[in-house]
Chains A and B, each alone.
Chain A
Amino acid sequence: MLRLVRPGLHLARGHRALQAVPDTLVAALDRVVGSTNVSVSDAVRWQHGQDESIHPCCPPDVVVWPQNVEEVSTCARLCYEQHVPMIPFGTGTGLEGGVSAPQGGVCFDLSAMADVVVVHPEDQDATVQPGVTRSKLNHNIASYGLTFPVDPGADASLCGMVATKASGTNAVRYGTMRENTLNLEVVLADGRILNTAGKDRRARKSAAGYDLTSLFVGSEGTLGFITQATLHLHALPEGSMVAVCPFPSVRAAVDATVDILHSGVPIARIEFLDEAMMTACQQYSGLDVTKSPTLFLEFHGSQGSLRDQVKTTEDVVKDHGGMEFNWAQEQETKSKLWKARHDALYAVRSLRPGWKCYVTDVCVPISQLPDVILATQDDLKASGLVGPIVGHVGDGNFHCAVLSDPSETGSGETVHAFSTRLAERALAVGGTCTGEHGIGLGKRHLLSSEVGLTGIWAMSALKAALDSRGLMNPGKVI
C-alpha cells in the first residue's frame, strides 16, 4: 500500500482539506512519474503554492515532477479525466501569484526537464526545456558569442518567462519574450501535444495561419503547459558602456529619455530610478551616487559606434540639465552598477525590514510618463506610503515598490487602493495595468477595464476552446 499520507496528519489547504484530488488519481500519477516524483508533503506543497508576490500561499494538493513531455501529457490526461485543476510551475519567481492554487489540484513542477535541447549558433536560435533558466542558457551560448538578452531580473525559467511575456531592462533594444519566441511545444489540458509553429520549425518569421505562438506567450499557464521553447538569440555586443546621469527633476530625466530615443541612439538599456530608490540603493549597495532622479544607461556597439552614441546622449543629457555623465567600460564597474539596479527590490525591503513589499507594473506611452510618475509620487505622499520607483523608461514601464507594515490594520487596503488608482491613471492615458508581470491572481478586475467587454469575451472564447473544462491554472487572468 502506498504510504503517501502520514496517518493522522491533517492536510489543510487554506480552509479545505485534501479532498480535491482523489487517492486513485494520486496513485495513477505515481505509476507514471515514479514515487520519488510525486509528493503530498506539507513542506513541498507550501513551497509550490507561492511565488515572489505578496499573494498568500495557496498550496496545491499534490506536486509531481514529470521527466519528459510524454509524462506531462499522460499526467495531464489523467487530471483532465478527473476534472482536477493543474498548475504549471517553473522557478516560482513570478510576481502575480501565478503558481498559487486557490482551487487546489496538481502542481506540475517542470524543473526536472532541464535540457538545452539544441543550439544553432549559425541561425541564432536555441531550444530549451522548462528547467533551463536564463543564466543557464546564457552560460551555454556565451562560447558562440551569443546571448539571450531578455532580463526580467530574477533568474527565471525561460518557459516561465514565455508564460508571463517577460521583458526587463533590455527590452527597449532587444524586445520582450514575444519578439524572441519562435516556436513552443505545449501540452494542452487534455494531454494533447501542440507545436505552435509546427514541430521543429524555427523560421525567423512566418505568415502561416493564426499566430498560436503569440497566443501562448503571456498566457500565464491558463492555456497549457509550455514544455519547450525555441528562442531567438542575439550577438553579444562588441563592446558595451554604462553611464549614470543624475537629473534635477523627474521630468528632466524622463524628457531626456524621450529625446535620447528620438535621436536614434540604439540605446540598449535605459533605466530610471527616483530619489527614494537612489537613496535605498546607495544604502544597500554602497554605490557612490547622488540622491536625485537618475538614469542608468547602457550602450552596445563597436568602439566607434559607442563613441558616437555616448556623444549624442551626453549632449541630450546636458540639454535637460543633467548634472553629471559618469560612464564606465570595465566589466567589474558595469556589473556592480547593474547588480545595484537589480537589487533594487531588496534595497527597498531593507528600508523597512519585516514589512511587505508590493511591486506595481504600469506601462504608458512615453510622452505620458512624467505626468504619471509625478502624480504617483504625489499619491504616495498623500497616502503616507513609502514607494521608491524604478522603471524601464525606454518602454514607458515603471515599478513602484510600495512598503506596508503587515501589523498595521488597513495597510493592505491602503496599498491596494493606491495601486488601483495607479492602474486607472495608466489606463486613462492609453496605457496598461501590467507591462510585464502579468494579470495573475490580483489584476483580473483591471483586465476588463483595459480590454473592454468584447476583449474579455474574445479571451474567454479562446480559453474555452483550448481548455473547455477550465482546469489550467484556474483563478488567473480570465
Chain B
Amino acid sequence: MALRVLVGVKRVIDYAVKVRVKPDKSGVVMDGVKHSMNPFCEIALEEAVRLKEKSLASEVIVVSCGPQQCQEVIRTALAIGADRGIHVEVSENDELGPLQVSKILAALVKKEDVGLVLLGKQAIDDDCNQTGQMTAGLLDWSQGTFVSEMTVEGEALKVVREVDGGLETVRLKLPSVITADLRLNEPRYATLPNIMKAKKKKLEVLKIKDLGVDVSPRFQVLSIDEPPQREAGVIVENTEELVEKLKEIGQI
C-alpha cells in the first residue's frame, strides 16, 4: 500500500546566524542573512524520502509557502529526493502564521489526494509548534507529534513520541499528520550531482486564490526587542563586601 506523502518545508534564517533586531523594532534583519531549510523540516523530508526508498510511499510532494525565495528550499528538497515541488506564492508583505499554513496544507491534501503529511515539529524562527496539530484538526485526521520513531503497519502507523514523561508509543489510523522531532533520523545532505539532477524535476507555482483559502491574519506583531544586554559583573574583594553589595541592590 503506497502512500502519497506531502512534506511541508519552511525557509528560515540559518540556525548558525546571530539574529539582530531591526532598529525600528518591526522585525529582525533578514536582508543578506543566510537562510536554510528549517532543521525539523529536513528531518521530516528525510523520513519521507526513506519511505519512498522502501517503496512504502509512491510519491513525495514537497510544499513551501512564502515569497519567491522559498523556491530555494524546494529545490534543495528535490535534490534530497522529493519527486515534485509546490510553491504557494504570497507577497513579501503577507504574514503567514501556523493557522494560514494549515489551511493551505489542508487544501493541498484534498487537491493532491495525499495520504500522509510529514512536517517538522516547529520552525526555529517562531517556535510555534502548531501547524501540524492545526492541519490534523482541519482535516479531522489522526496526528502523531514529536515523533522519534515511525513504522508503517498496513493501514496504520506506529509512532513513538517524545513527551515530558518519557516515550509514548501510539498507533494511528491512516491518513495522518506526523511532526518530526530531532531523533527521528539523521538527514542526508543535498549533493551537487543531485542538485544538478533536481533542476529537471517539476516545481509548480500556485497563488493563494487558486486554492480558495482565506489567509487573513488573526494577530499583529506589535514590537520585537532584543533580550537585555548582559552587563559586566562586579568583582568584590571579600564576603563582607559581597553581602553589602547584595543589600545595596535589594537582593537581600
Chain B, residues 28-44, CB within 8 Å of chain A (1/0): the string is 00000010100000000
Contacts of B79 in A (CB 8 A): 145
Decide yes or no whether A142 CB sits under 8 A from chain B: yes
Cα separation A418 to B138 with both chains bound (whole Å) = 72
- Chain A hits for B186, CB < 8 A: 331-332, 335
- Contact between chains at A235 and B192 (CB < 8 Å): yes
Chain B: which residue is nearest A143 at the CB level?
Answer: B36
Asked whether any CB of chain B lies closer than 8 Å to the CB of A144, the reply is yes
B190 close to A146 (CB less than 8 A): no
A113, chain B: closest CB distance, angstroms:
15
A335 to B191: give the CA distance in the assembly, Å.
Answer: 17
Minimum Cβ distance to chain B for residue A138 (Å) = 9
Tell me the bound Cα distance from A139 to B186 in angstroms.
15
Our count of residue pairs bridging A and B at CB distance below 8 angstroms stands at 42
Which residues of B have CB within 8 Å of A140? 16, 34
Complex Cα distance, B191 from A302, in Å, reads: 10
Which of chain A's residues has its CB closest to B76's CB? A143
Does B109 have its Cβ within 8 Å of any Cβ on chain A? no
Q: What are 10 A-B contacts with C-beta separation under 8 Å? A: A142-B189, A143-B76, A145-B194, A235-B193, A236-B189, A302-B193, A331-B185, A331-B186, A331-B188, A332-B186
0/1 string, A227-270, CB within 8 A of B gives 1:
00000000111110000000000000000000000000000000
A 106-154 contacts with B by CB, 8 A:
136, 139-140, 142-147
Residues of A within 8 A of B194 (CB): 145, 238
**Assembly CA distance A136 to B191 (angstroms):** 18
B190 and A143 contacting across the interface, CB-CB below 8 Å? yes
Q: In chain B between 173 and 210, which residues have their CB closer than 8 angstroms to a CB of chain A?
A: 185-195
Within 8 A of B (CB), among A170-187: none
Measured between C-beta atoms, what is the minimum distance from A174 to chain B in Å?
Answer: 14
Give min CB distance, A429 to chain B, whole Å. Answer: 39
Known: A236-B190, A238-B194; 9 extra A-B contacts, CB below 8 A, are A136-B16, A143-B76, A144-B192, A145-B190, A237-B191, A238-B193, A302-B193, A331-B185, A332-B185
Number of chain A interface residues as a range: 10 to 19
Nearest B-chain residue to A139, judged by Cβ: B16
In the complex, what residue of chain B is closest to A332 when comparing beta carbons?
B186
Q: Which residues of A contact B185 (CB under 8 A)?
A: 331-332
Q: How distant is the Cα of A331 from the Cα of B187 in the complex, in angstroms?
A: 7
Q: Which residue of B has the minimal Cβ distance to A233?
A: B192
CA distance A296 to B188 in the complex (A): 21
Q: How far is the CA of A332 from the CA of B189 in the complex (A)?
A: 13
- Using a CB–CB cutoff of 8 Å, the interface residues on chain B facing chain A are 16, 34, 36, 76, 79, 185-195
Q: Are A236 and B191 in contact (CB under 8 A)?
A: yes
Question: How long is the Cα–Cα vector from A475 to B79 in the complex, in angstroms?
Answer: 51
Find out whether the CB atom of A145 lies under 8 angstroms from the CB atom of B192.
yes
> How many angstroms between the C-alpha atoms of A57 and B186 in the bound complex?
39
5 closest cross-chain pairs (CB), A and B: A235-B192, A145-B192, A236-B191, A331-B186, A238-B193
Q: Are A145 and B188 in contact (CB under 8 A)?
A: no
In the assembled complex, the CB of B216 is this many whole angstroms from the nearest CB of chain A, namely 33
Q: Contact: A145 with B16, CB < 8 Å?
A: no
Q: Is the CB of A238 within 8 A of B36?
A: no
Of listed A136, A143, A239, A302, residue having the most chain B CB within 10 A: A143
Task: Return chain A residues, CB-CB under 8 Å to B191.
Answer: 145, 235-239
Within 8 A of B (CB), among A293-318: 302
Q: Which of A207-239 contact B (CB under 8 A)?
A: 235-239
Contacts of A332 in B (CB 8 A): 185-186
Task: Give the residues in chain A near B195, CB-CB below 8 Å.
Answer: 144-145
**Which residues of chain A are near B34, meaning CB under 8 Å?**
140
- A142 cross-chain contacts in B, Cβ below 8 A: 189-190
Distance between Cα atoms of A147 and B189 in the complex (Å): 10
B232 to chain A, nearest CB (A): 9
CA separation between A143 and B69, bound complex, in Å? 14
Give, as a whole number of angstroms, the nearest-CB distance from A24 to chain B: 26
Q: What's the Cα separation between A302 and B187 when bound, in Å?
A: 18
Which B residues are CB-close (under 8 A) to A145?
79, 189-195
B76 touches A236 (CB 8 A): no
Q: Closest residue to B15 on the A side, CB-wise?
A: A139
Interface residues of A in 318-339 (CB under 8 A from B): 331-332, 335
User: Which residue of chain A has the shortest Cβ distance to B190 in the bound complex?
Assistant: A145
The CA-CA distance from A236 to B192 in the complex, in Å, is 6
Q: A22 to nearest B CB, angstroms?
A: 26
Q: Which single residue of chain A is at the shortest CB-CB distance from B196? A: A145
Tell me, in angstroms, the Cα distance from A332 to B182 when the chains sit together.
Answer: 13
Bound-state Cα–Cα, A236 to B196, Å: 12
Smallest beta-carbon distance A125→chain B, Å: 14
By a CB distance below 8 angstroms, the chain A residues around B190 are 142-143, 145, 236
Q: Which residues of B contact A235 (CB under 8 A)?
A: 191-193
Complex Cα gap A239–B76 (Å) = 16
Contacts of B36 in A (CB 8 A): 143
CA distance in complex: A140, B36 (Å): 10
* CA–CA, A239 and B190, complex, Å: 10
The CA-CA distance from A335 to B183 in the complex, in Å, is 14
List the A side residues contacting B189 at CB < 8 Å.
142, 145, 147, 236
Encode A86-114 as 1/0 by CB contact (under 8 A) with B: 00000000000000000000000000000
Residue in A closest to B73 when the chains form the complex, CB atoms: A143
Kindly identify, within residues 434 to 452 of chain A, every residue whose CB is under 8 Å from any CB belonging to chain B: none
CB B80 to nearest CB in A, in angstroms, measures: 10
Least distance between B246 CB and chain A CB atoms (Å): 24
CB nearest to A239 among chain B residues = B191
